[in-house]
């Protein structure tokens, strides 16, 4: 795998991970963005699926 392929797959995984982090955190600094965790996870999953499909086609 080249670095570009790894980078393109890593970004959606980071989005999913950060969305889950926001959902589970108790930190007061993240209370304003707690409503955005679902959007981050959904966009990350869709982006990851599309990139994997693009790799194999």
What would the pLDDT profile of 3-43 be if each residue is shown by its tens digit?
888 888 999 999 999 999 999 988 888 788 888 899 999 99
| Cβ 49 vs Cβ 41: under 8 Å | no
Q: Which SS3 state, helix, strand or coil, does residue 25 take? A: coil
Give the DSSP H or E segment for 47. Answer: helix 37-56
- Which pLDDT band holds residue 1 (cuts at 50, 70, 90)? low
Instruction: Answer whether residue 52 shows pLDDT above 70.
Output: yes
Confidence of residue 48 (pLDDT cuts 50, 70, 90): very high
Task: Provide the whole-model pTM.
Answer: 0.83
């Amino acid at each position: 795998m080249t670095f570009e392929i790894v980078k393109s797959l890593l970004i959606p995984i980071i989005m999913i991970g950060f969305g889950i982090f926001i959902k589970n955190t108790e930190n007061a600094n993240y209370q304003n963005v707690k409503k955005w965790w679902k959007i981050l996870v959904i966009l990350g999953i869709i982006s990851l699926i599309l990139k994997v499909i693009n790799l194999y086609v």
